[in-house]
Amino acid sequence: MVSAAFFAVYRLYHKANKRSLHDELTGLPNRRYFMFTLKRQFSMAKRSQSKEKFALLNIDLDKFKEINDLYGHDAGDKVLQVAGERVQQAIRGSDVVARVGGDEFLVLLPRIIEEKNIQTIVVTVLSHLCDEPIEYDLNRIHLQASIGYAMYKKEMNSVEDILKAADAGMYQNKLYRKNH
């Protein structure tokens, strides 16, 4: 009886822990998990005096509210699930993608040597995300996304610095796409 109770408590603990670290809708890591991983990567880079390079992508699905308004929240959920899967398929096995809120995804890219490597990954992610429409209830939903990125620099003092830089890049990309 005691071992059955222990097993049940262990399973509940394991489930609760997994839920606290993963987004329930997409199954991807959530903000909490991602921030822990990003802080660890940032510390390693600081300690290695910039020998340990990495980058951060900030991905925002454009016009996501319109998808929810036009097709409903179930369609929006489907779009988020498929977007998460597509981003995960577009990146390397060592990279970490997380849904950090609403229609925003962050990707940690360890072992990045040059900025051109990031640009190649951005093109691949955009292609995976946007080339094929998502089928939902006999509708074809076309995705658009804005992606900003930042590469770690030794001048950065905190994780917030790289987050702000990637966020600024994403908004710059969104503004450029809107005006062209």
Q: Return the H-helix or E-strand segment holding 54.
A: strand 54-61
Q: How many C-beta atoms surround the C-beta of residue 121 within 10 A?
A: 21
Q: How many C-beta atoms surround the C-beta of residue 79 within 10 A?
A: 20
Q: How far apart are CA 46 and CA 51, in angstroms?
A: 9
Q: Is 77 a catalytic residue?
A: no
Catalytic residue among 23, 60, 103, 167: 103
Q: List C-alpha distances in Å: 74 to 24, 47, 65, 83.
A: 14, 45, 12, 14
DSSP code string of 61-83: ETTHHHHHHHH-HHHHHHHHHHH
- In single-letter form, the type of residue at position 44 comes to M
Catalytic annotation, residues: 103
